[in-house]
Structure 1
Amino acid sequence: MRHLVGGLEIVSGLLLVALMSVTGMDVIGRYLFDRPLPGAFEMTELLLAALVFAALPLVSRSGGHVEVDLLDSLLPPGARRALLWIGAAAAFCVLMVFAWRLVLHGLQQAGDGARSISLGIPFAPVSFFGAAGCAVAALFGLVRAIRA
């Protein structure tokens, strides 16, 4: 698991650097040379989608999702554990449904040959990457609940 986390951290970092580079080159080209980076909008969209799905498992593993715990201190420990498990189970189910739907969507995109308009980048790999990110995030959230 440690190698998976390290890999996701590296991929997330590289995607963030790529996103900043594309944005920086587009802004510099647009305002200094009156020549924006061709396809910058598409690259930004796809890089941002990939970054979200690469970072999602890391957020699930660290418990960085938004949680409301207004009444948490008023509940007995058993009820707090039960709520933790209910939340983890719900998040697991939702993320696995997202993963399943993204796989189906990716298969449809692959079958249709769906690509971005100006650069011709295929969409299916992004959908499959998103499905993998959701599945890993679901598992990390479950492991986190087990360890708590």
Structure 2
Amino acid sequence: MTAKRIENGLMGLAAFLLLALMAVTGIDVIGRYLFNAPLSGAFELTELLLGALVFVALPLVSRAGAHVEVDLLVSVVPRAVSRVMGRMAAIVSAVVLAFFAWRLAVLGITQVTDGARSVSMGVPLAPFAFLGALTCLVAALFGLMREMRP
């Protein structure tokens, strides 16, 4: 599977999650103010969908190189040094993201074992941890691919 296909799949999933977030919020607001009957579990659904959206967007930001950067030294160091600094930052970021992926996978396994579910709606939490683990790995790879190209 190519990086472009993965990127397109992530964009589609992010769009779906954003649409779902807007639908939940819209239904909740309309129900609350027009019918005095808010959507049950809307707050919890919003939390879960927003968390998933952040993780799905992470690799897209890494692929685009759109992370927030502080480039105090870039203008005063030679281009070759700047390139090496960028590669070092990509490696450190990849290591940190791989660590996050590992810890999220461990968390997901624990949640499967314990049968962890959300409080009000009983949504299983493990898939969200596994999604976070997978997207952290993809973000690490995208970041490395971006900075390590010739």
TM-score range, shorter chain: over 0.9
Could you tell which deviates more after superposition, 65-74 or 131-140? Answer: 65-74
CA-atom RMSD in angstroms: 0.9
* 1:117 to partner: Cα distance: 1.5
Runs (4 or more) in structure 1 with deviation over 3 Å come to none
The sequence identity of aligned pairs, in percent, is 57
Work out the CA distance in 1 between the residues paired with 2:84 and 2:149.
Answer: 14
* 1:147 to partner: Cα distance: 2.1
- Alignment correspondent of 1:25: 27
| AA of the residue aligned to 1:70 | L
Work out the CA distance in 2 between the residues paired with 1:99 and 1:71.
Answer: 30
SS where residue 118 of structure 1 aligns?
Answer: coil
What is the TM-score of this pair, normalised by structure 1? 0.97
- Alignment correspondent of 2:86: 84
Gaps of at least 5 residues in structure 1 are: none
SS where residue 37 of structure 2 aligns?
Answer: coil
Residue correspondence of structure 1 range 49-128 to structure 2 within 5 A: 49-128=51-130
Residue 46, structure 1, aligned to residue 59, structure 2: no
Work out the CA distance in 2 between the residues paired with 1:30 and 1:137.
Answer: 38
* 1:70 to partner: Cα distance: 2.1
* 1:28 to partner: Cα distance: 1.0
Gaps of at least 5 residues in structure 2 are: none
Aligned residues: 148
SS where residue 73 of structure 1 aligns?
Answer: coil
- Alignment correspondent of 1:131: 133
